[in-house]
Amino acid sequence: MSIGLKKIQIARRQLGLDDDTYRALLQRVAGVSSSTKLTPRQVGTVLAEFERQGWKPKASAKGRAAPRPAPDRKALMGKVEAFLAEANRPWAYADGMAQKMFQVERVEWLDADQLRRLVAALSYDARRNGRKQ
């Protein structure tokens, strides 16, 4: 069972939907009678409907795992990790910066030049907030 399907079942239980109501929702939102027939896009649509009905997904307590960069970017990624640790920020913060600066979803997908520019931005942030660089 995929993570999306697991989330659907969690949301279903938390919202207290009986089987008939749940299947009616699936039919109305995605045009299927079973969650096993959902496409990935439909999974997102069903989860959005659950959120509209009041379901609040819980964020992971530990965040995502540290990225495993290519060998040529390992040192730069280490600097990013150090800046994040010093500022007590999660990897999602660096992902957000990568998205904002380069329109790339995850920091490990940046090329070496983009990663250098990200390190420079984190260094500037550290200096501005009085943290060591």
Per-residue pLDDT of 52-75, as tens digits, reads: 999 888 765 567 788 888 888 999
Does residue 116 have a pLDDT over 90? yes
Cα 16 to Cα 73: distance, rounded to the nearest angstrom: 48
What is the dihedral angle through the alpha carbons of 98, 101, 105, 106, rounded to the nearest 10 degrees?
-10
What confidence tens digit (pLDDT) does each residue in 3-60 have? 788 889 999 999 999 999 999 999 999 999 999 898 888 988 999 999 999 988 876 5
Q: pTM of the full predicted structure?
A: 0.54
Cα 103 to Cα 77: distance, rounded to the nearest angstrom: 18
Cβ atoms of 40 and 10 closer than 8 Å: no
Among 107, 109, 63, 113, CA closest to 88:
63
